[in-house]
Amino acid sequence: MRGLWGAVAAVAAVLAMAVEAQIPEKELTSMQRRAVHSVMREFHARDYINNGFHATSFQRANQMEFPAGIFVRVEFTMKQTDCRKHQWMEPKCKTPKNPRVYNCFTCFKFEFNSHQVISELKDCIPQRSVTPERTRKRETSCKEVQDRNETGELRLPGAFSFLKSQ
């Protein structure tokens, strides 16, 4: 009996940490929202997607400035709705009882002034397909997006402007 309560306590602690780690959508920056919208638009353009999906939770959202641009990383969960895929942005769409759930991981690097995309990674897979190996691959690919157009290994302040002035 003692072992059962220990397991229940461990599961409760993990669930509490997961709930605590979620980020409210209203706290996303405009660049993070733009990245999420880009992923959702591309996801709904796929032939095998028939229903609309809504982003339901945000597990991670980072934004950092580098000499070459603004780097954004967002990980979120999407759930299937009862609307058709061309109606995915409508707020009236409801989540059915047993929806398909996707885990999306995205990294973008935007230019400073124009906010044009320098590099991007978009990866949405069924939630049950997220494995440690897939997570490592995502992180490695995301690091490549982050490093795109950066000069030197140290990334010292002013390095980009110095090189541009030569």
* Res. 8: pLDDT tops 50: no
Q: Which domain holds residue 67?
A: 32-149
Q: Across-strand partners of 59?
A: none
Report pLDDT digits (tens) over 95-149: 999 999 999 999 999 998 888 999 999 999 999 999 999 999 999 999 999 998 8
155 pLDDT exceeds 80? no
3-class SS of residue 151: coil
Instruction: Give the phi and the psi of residue 51 in degrees, each rounded to 5.
Output: -100, 160
Task: Give a yes or no: residue 20 inside a domain.
Answer: no
Within a domain: residue 6? no
Q: Looking at residue 82, which CATH number applies to its domain?
A: 3.10.450.10
d(CA 113, CA 115): 6
What value does the mean pLDDT take over residues 3-9?
46
Q: How far is CA 63 from CA 33, 72, 111, 146, in A?
A: 11, 4, 13, 11
> In 10 A of CB 146, how many CB atoms?
21
Confidence class for position 3, pLDDT limits 50, 70, 90? low
Contact 69, 111 (CB under 8 A): yes
Q: Is residue 7 part of a domain?
A: no
Question: 18: buried, middle or exposed (CB in 10 Å: 19+, 13-18, 0-12)?
Answer: exposed
- Number of structural domains found in the chain: 1
- What are 16-34's pLDDT values in tens digits? 334 446 888 889 999 999 9
| Res. 35: pLDDT tops 50 | yes
Does residue 165 lie in a domain region? no
Q: Which residues in 49-86 are b (16+ Cβ under 10 Å) and which e?
A: bebbbbbebbeebebeebbbbbbbbbbbbbbbbebeee
Give the CA-trace dihedral at 129, 126, 32, 41, to 10 degrees: 140
**Within-domain flag for 142:** yes
Six-digit token string for 133: 């190996």
Q: Which residues on neighbouring strands pair with residue 122, listed in sequence order?
A: 106
Provide the pLDDT confidence category of residue 166 given band limits of 50, 70 and 90.
very low
Is residue 17 one of the residues assigned to a domain?
no
In a domain, 124, yes or no: yes
Domain membership of residue 94 (yes or no) is yes
Residue-wise pLDDT tens digits, 66-110: 988 999 999 999 999 999 999 998 989 999 999 999 999 999 999
